[in-house]
Amino acid sequence: VNIKDLGGEHKLIETITSGFRNYHRAELTVGDDAAIVRADAERFAVLTTDVLVEGDHFNCTWSTPKQIGRKTIEVNASDVAAMGARPQYLLLNLVLREGLDVDFAKELYAGILEGCEEHRITLLGGDTTRGAVMMVSATMSGVTTNPVRRSGAVPGDLIAVTGDVGASNAGYLTFRQGLRPVGHVLARHLEPRCRLDVSDAVAGVAHAMIDVSDGVASEIRHIAARSVVGARVDSRQLPIHPETAAAAKALRTTAAACALSGGEDFELLFTLAPDDLPALEAEGVDLSVIGEVLPAAEGLVLLGEDGEPGPLPEGYDHFA
Amino acid sequence: VNIKDLGGEHKLIETITSGFRNYHRAELTVGDDAAIVRADAERFAVLTTDVLVEGDHFNCTWSTPKQIGRKTIEVNASDVAAMGARPQYLLLNLVLREGLDVDFAKELYAGILEGCEEHRITLLGGDTTRGAVMMVSATMSGVTTNPVRRSGAVPGDLIAVTGDVGASNAGYLTFRQGLRPVGHVLARHLEPRCRLDVSDAVAGVAHAMIDVSDGVASEIRHIAARSVVGARVDSRQLPIHPETAAAAKALRTTAAACALSGGEDFELLFTLAPDDLPALEAEGVDLSVIGEVLPAAEGLVLLGEDGEPGPLPEGYDHFA
pLDDT at position B40:
81
Chain-centre distance for alpha carbon B165: 11
Spatial separation of the C-alpha atoms in residues B318 and B77, rounded to whole Å: 21
Spatial separation of the C-alpha atoms in residues B278 and B239, rounded to whole Å: 18
Coil/strand/helix, residue A100 = coil
Spatial separation of the C-alpha atoms in residues B319 and A57, rounded to whole Å: 24
Report the pLDDT averaged over residues A80-105. Answer: 90
DSSP E strands, A40-191: 44-53, 86-96, 122-130, 135-144, 158-162
At A135-187, the pLDDT tens digits run 998 999 999 999 999 999 999 999 999 999 999 999 999 999 999 999 999 99
Spatial separation of the C-alpha atoms in residues A207 and B45, rounded to whole Å: 31
Q: Residue A6 — very low, low, confident or very high, per pLDDT cuts 50/70/90? A: low
CB–CB contact A47 B89 (8 Å): yes
Spatial separation of the C-alpha atoms in residues B190 and B174, rounded to whole Å: 12
Q: Flag the least confident range among A122-131, A143-152, B248-257.
A: A122-131
Distance from CA of A187 to the nearest CA of B (A): 24
Interface residue B131 vs chain A (CB under 8 A): yes
CB–CB contact A124 B98 (8 Å): no
At A270-313, the pLDDT tens digits run 999 999 999 999 999 999 999 999 999 999 999 999 999 999 98
Neighbours of A88 (CB within 10 A): 21
Using alpha carbons only, what angle is made at residue A52 by residues A51 and A57, rounded to the nearest 5 degrees? 140
Residue B203 scores a pLDDT above 90: yes
Residue A242 scores a pLDDT above 80: yes
Give percent of chain B above pLDDT 70: 90
Q: Answer whether A205's CB lies under 8 Å from A287's CB.
A: no
Residue B18 scores a pLDDT above 90: no
pLDDT at position B7:
62
Element spanning A284, H or E:
none
Q: Answer whether A266's CB lies under 8 Å from A48's CB.
A: no
Q: Answer whether A36's CB lies under 8 Å from A29's CB.
A: yes
A137 chain-B contacts, CB cut-off 8 A: 49, 51, 93, 135, 137
Q: What is the 3-state secondary structure (H, E, C) of chain B?
A: CEHHHHCCHHHHHHHHCCCCCCCCCCCCECCCCCEEEECCCCCEEEEEEEEEEECCCECCCCCCHHHHHHHHHHHHHHHHHHCCCEEEEEEEEEEECCCCEHHHHHHHHHHHHHHHHHHCCEEEEEEEEECCCCEEEEEEEEEECCCCCHHHCCCCCEEEEECCCCHHHHHHHHHHCCCCCCHHHHHHHHCCCCCHHHHHHHHCCCCEEEECCCCHHHHHHHHHHHHCCEEEEEHHHCCCCHHHHHHHHHCCCCHHHHHHHCCCCCCEEEEECHHHHHHHHHCCCCEEEEEEEECHHHCEEEECCCCCEEECCCCCCCCC
- Closest CA relative to residue A121, chosen from A76, A92, A90: A90
Of A9, A91, A319, the CB nearest to B139: A91
CA-nearest residue to B7 within chain A is: A102
At A186-235, the pLDDT tens digits run 999 999 999 999 999 999 999 999 999 999 999 999 999 999 999 999 99
Q: Average model confidence (pLDDT) for chain A?
A: 90
Distance from CA of B316 to the nearest CA of A (A): 12
The complex scores an ipTM of 0.77
Which of A18-32, A84-98, B14-28, B175-189 has the largest mean confidence?
A: B175-189
- Closest CA relative to residue A216, chosen from A255, A272, A175: A255
Q: What is the largest CA-CA distance in chain A?
A: 58
Interface residue A93 vs chain B (CB under 8 A): yes
Q: What is the largest CA-CA distance in chain B?
A: 58
Spatial separation of the C-alpha atoms in residues B177 and B72, rounded to whole Å: 25
Best residue in B32, B57, B123, B139 to probe A by mutation, most A CBs within 10 Å? B139
pLDDT at position B58:
82
At B40-94, the pLDDT tens digits run 888 899 999 888 888 877 888 899 999 999 999 999 999 999 999 999 999 988 8
Of B20, B54, B125, the CB nearest to A113: B20
Q: Answer whether B35's CB lies under 8 Å from B15's CB.
A: no
At B106-144, the pLDDT tens digits run 899 999 999 999 999 998 888 888 888 889 989 999 999
CB–CB contact B24 A88 (8 Å): yes
Neighbours of A295 (CB within 10 A): 12
Report the pLDDT averaged over residues A117-133. Answer: 88
Chain-centre distance for alpha carbon B91: 19
Amino acid, res. B307: G
Give percent of chain B above pLDDT 90: 68
Report strand pairing: B230-234 vs B300-303. Answer: parallel
How far is CA A53 from each of CA A59, A126, B65, B118, rounded to the nearest angstrom? 9, 17, 21, 31
- Global confidence as pTM: 0.84
Q: Answer whether A46's CB lies under 8 Å from A83's CB.
A: yes
Spatial separation of the C-alpha atoms in residues A174 and A182, rounded to whole Å: 9
Q: Residue B244 — very low, low, confident or very high, per pLDDT cuts 50/70/90? A: very high
Best residue in B95, B136, B264, B316 to probe A by mutation, most A CBs within 10 Å? B95
Spatial separation of the C-alpha atoms in residues A143 and A36, rounded to whole Å: 9
pLDDT at position A12:
65
Spatial separation of the C-alpha atoms in residues B278 and B241, rounded to whole Å: 23
Neighbours of A31 (CB within 10 A): 17
pLDDT at position B319:
55
Spatial separation of the C-alpha atoms in residues B85 and B146, rounded to whole Å: 8
